[in-house]
Structure 1
Amino acid sequence: MYPKEFEKSIKKVEATREERMKGLPERMSAKEREEILQKWHPDYKPEAKRKLKIGASKGSFVPVEVADLIEAYPLEDPKEIDMSKPDYSVDVLIIGGGGAGTAAALHAYYSGIKKDKILMVTKLRHGDANTIMAQGGIQAADKENDSPAIHYLDVIGGGHYANKPDLVERLVMDAPRIIKWHEELGVMYDKKEDGEMITIHGGGTSRKRMHSAKDYTGMEIMRVIRDE
């Protein structure tokens, strides 16, 4: 079942399980955690990232695999594409058919753009995207003991101050409205018997603001907005 190189580690886990079950392991210090990450985590290894040579993010350090993908030559030869004869003429072109792309298409339609003037393109089927893989939930500061300002601080701190402030602001301000929109469409978020939404802690949260649908939140959101 497991690769042969795992056998040594498995035996060690099995041999020490009874002793480890007697109590919690001693917490590592911040320095010890950093040393472990530097030694083992792929994101911390210098050779795992390199600078992008092209594009809007030129100069940014990204995983080597991502850089190779972005810098790769296109499968289509630009010389063979006749831009004077488009296959489709639309007002809105949406790249991607996941949660964001589908929501963009819906809001374009809500704004008055005709359906036949909105085109969504995706490399797979509509809905086959990262959204359906999301399990934990979606955060929104919509409870009395919470606020977008507190949510903002959590996100900025959790991102080690590397976030783009304007995007974080948009995220935390829009989140309660998006949850309300989802509910109006029929997304079945977990609720108490009285109808109040259940919220739980997520990574880096100082308030319980994670809204979830069991452990298939993304799939539930995608189910509803795709049908819409």
Structure 2
Amino acid sequence: MTNRYLVNFDSRELPQQEAEYLIIGGGIAGLFTAWAAAKSGAQITLLTKRTVAESNTDRAQGGIAAALGQHDSPALHMQDTLIAGAGLCDEDAVRILVNEGPERVKELIKMGASFDRTGEDLCFTREGCHSQHRILHAQGDATGAEILRALYQNVSSLSSVEIIENQYVVDLLVKNNVCYGALAMDQITGQFRVFRGKIVVLATGGSGRLYNYTTNPEVATADGIALAYRAGAEVMDMEFIQFHPTSLVLPDAPRFLISEAVRGEGALLRNSWGERFMAQYHGMAELAPRDIVSRAILSEMARTRANSVFLDLTHLDPDKIKERFPTITQTCSKYGVDIAREFIPVAPAAHYMMGGVKTDLWGETSIQRLFACGEASCMAVHGANRLASNSLLDGLVWGGRIVARANHVLEERLPEETEFFCQDLLTTPEEDFIDLRKEIQHIMGDKVGPLRTAQRLAQALAFFERWSYLTKHEVRDTAKMEVRNMLEVGALIAEAAMMRSESRGGHFRLDYPETSERWQKHIILKGN
């Protein structure tokens, strides 16, 4: 059994702060929720782990999908999302996403988000599994950064919103299945503080840093999912990890994302022998669903005994490419690759978590007054495999829906205020948590990566069991807390992957390579 807390504490001895909304996370989901809540007249405290700029939102290159084009429709967007989701999308959730999404994007534009245009008309590009050009982008390939800029500019100017950076949320404060707030630690001063909220929203982002190769920033250590699970919430679809097919592979470079929009604009994939190969794997070739492209690349890497394949843009207009993808152009140039003249070496890397804290269609979790949105949440809108550029839209749509639902919850009387404490954790053990973090990332990449087997998953589960004794000990610095969260969520991913004896979307079992109708269902795991 998992211990509910990471540290010994007594809330009666700590500074306390209260707001109507306590929002944890400062990416698109957290900021849009704060903006919507402020519009409704609420007081909001928003906590970020580091700075607002450090999130997956800031790194989002390709764009945001919305049926705003002349020849597009929500029905077509829905159809594409369902196909990508491999039979596990909740159709009601998808219908909400594609129908409410365009209005949320229009709100972003009103807030000052500047998307690329030709004259007065918005520019749309196409990515894998989309039947239409429906993806808006900004500054070529800096869409997330532009959305973040516009949101932060608007939210930070509101007197009803207090944004507090460098706050590591240690644990949720839950009693009798009601969430009262969170225990957080200031990463500058080391001071613990209790933040109370009548509504608590998890918008903590992704889990990519569980893997040795990822496109995610350093902060993406699955904290929100671990927080919720320890507090007793349900999590769902944890086995479905999306590996982005094309991350930069160079000796001294980070696994920088090479946007799918590059293939949408006509780039080709070639193996190390120079052969174009995607047409052999799928009728949509380079624009096939991400899981198929990732496995095709891994297959070609194995066949040619190479550590990458290559993206080829050399047949495209170099001026247009540099204008359309300035961030990618500059980053590759920094590491000695001229993308207009040379192939870009790429390989799959952990990119997006389809699973997360289970919510209903209004973002409410199985714990009262605890909501979740964005990548930390799961209402099965993405199914087994997220359609490209639906993630930013997801954060907007459910950020808005949470406020619509939570305003009714605010009218209900909160149970009598209660205090929280934990005094039974042992002192921190003498372990090398830096090495343990690396070991977790290696195990996840090697045993719980894009290609899985019962043997590999059993080895991963044995590793996590070996370290389960740490739940009896407290950890009082954020690096060690992150490792504890990584152990928690890594074990959940491996457990769900072992249970699902089929292949579907982002979950592929070499020992069960076929998709089974019997497994057209969700795996739900529950905390204490």
In the superposition, the TM-score normalised over structure 1's length comes to: 0.62
Matched, 1:209 2:134: yes
212 and 127 in structure 1: CA distance in 2 versus 1, 3 angstrom threshold:
same
Q: Corresponding residue for 2:25?
A: 96
Q: Structure 1: which amino acid aligns with 2:6?
A: L
In structure 1, distance between residues paired with 2:3 and 2:122: 46
Q: What is the Cα deviation at residue 171 of structure 1?
A: 1.4
Q: What displacement does 1:204 show?
A: 0.9
Aligned to 2:278: none
Q: Quick one: structure 1 residues 190 and 72, their matched pair in 2 at CA, closer, same or farther if it must change by over 3 Å? A: farther
CA contact (8 A) 1:189 1:197 kept: yes
Structure 1 residue 170 corresponds to structure 2 residue 96: yes
Say which is worse superposed, 98-107 or 144-153, in terms of deviation.
144-153
Flag as ranges the 4+ runs of structure 1 deviating above 6 A. 83-86
Q: Which residue identity is paired with 1:211?
A: L
Cα deviation, residue 73, structure 1: 7.0
Task: Output one character per residue of 1:65-84: Cα deviation in whole Å (capped at 9) or x when no partner.
Answer: xxxxxx6874323xx13269
The one of 107, 118, 124 equivalent to 1:199 is 124
**108 and 83 in structure 1: CA distance in 2 versus 1, 3 angstrom threshold:** farther
Q: Could you say if the C-alpha distance between residues 83 and 108 of structure 1 is closer, same or farther in structure 2, counting changes exceeding 3 Å? A: farther
How much does 1:163 deviate?
A: 1.8
* Deviations 1:72-121, CA, capped at 9 Å, x for gaps: 874323xx1326976111111111111110000000001121xxx21111
d(CA) in 2 for partners of 1:161, 1:126 = 35
Deviations 1:146-193 (A, max 9, x none): 111110110010111212223222211122112211111111101012
Contact 1:127 1:226 in 2 (8 A): no
From 38, 46, 49, the equivalent of 1:123 is 49
Decide whether the 8 Å contact of 1:200 with 1:211 is kept in 2: yes
Matching residue within 111, 118, 130 for 1:185: 111
Corresponding residue SS for 1:97: coil
Output aligned runs, 1:1-228, within 5 Å: 74-77=5-8, 80-82=9-11, 87-113=16-42, 117-193=43-119, 195-213=120-138, 214-228=140-154
Question: C-alpha displacement at 1:144, in angstroms?
Answer: 2.5
For 1:191 and 1:72, how far apart are their aligned partners in 2?
Answer: 52
* Partner SS, residue 143 of structure 1: coil
Paired position in structure 1 for 2:268: none
Go from structure 1 to structure 2 and tell me whether the alpha carbon gap of 1:86 and 1:165 turns closer, same or farther (over 3 Å shift).
farther
RMSD after superposition: 2.0
Higher strand share: 2
Determine the C-alpha separation between the residues in 1 that align with 2:80 and 2:69.
Answer: 15
- How many residues matched? 153
Q: Is the 8 A contact 1:99 1:127 kept in 2?
A: no
Deviation at 1:201, TM superposition (A): 0.7
Residue 124 (structure 1) shift = 1.1
Unaligned runs of 5+ residues in structure 1 are 1-53, 55-70
CA distance in structure 1 between the aligned counterparts of 2:131 and 2:123, rounded to whole angstroms? 16
1:174 & 1:102 partners in 2: Cα distance? 18
Query: How many angstroms apart in 1 are the aligned matches of 2:76 and 2:152?
Result: 32
C-alpha distance in 2 between matches for 1:119 and 1:108: 11
**Counterpart residue type for residue 206 of structure 1:** S
CA distance in 1, matches of 2:13, 2:76: 51
In structure 2, runs of 5+ residues without a counterpart are 155-528
Q: Is the alpha carbon distance of 1:166 and 1:84 closer, same or farther for their aligned partners in structure 2, counting shifts above 3 Å?
A: farther
CA shift in 2, pair 1:149/1:84, >3 Å? farther
- Residues 190 and 85 of structure 1: is their aligned pair in 2 closer, same or farther, counting only changes over 3 Å? same
Question: Aligned partners of 1:98 and 1:225: how far apart in 2?
Answer: 9
Residues 210/86 of structure 1: CA separation in 2 closer, same or farther (3 Å cut): same
Letter of the structure 1 residue corresponding to residue 108 of structure 2: H
Q: Summarize deviations over 1:118-160 as a string: whole Å, max 9, x none.
A: 1111211123211001000000001231111110110010111
TM-superposed deviation, 1:212: 0.3
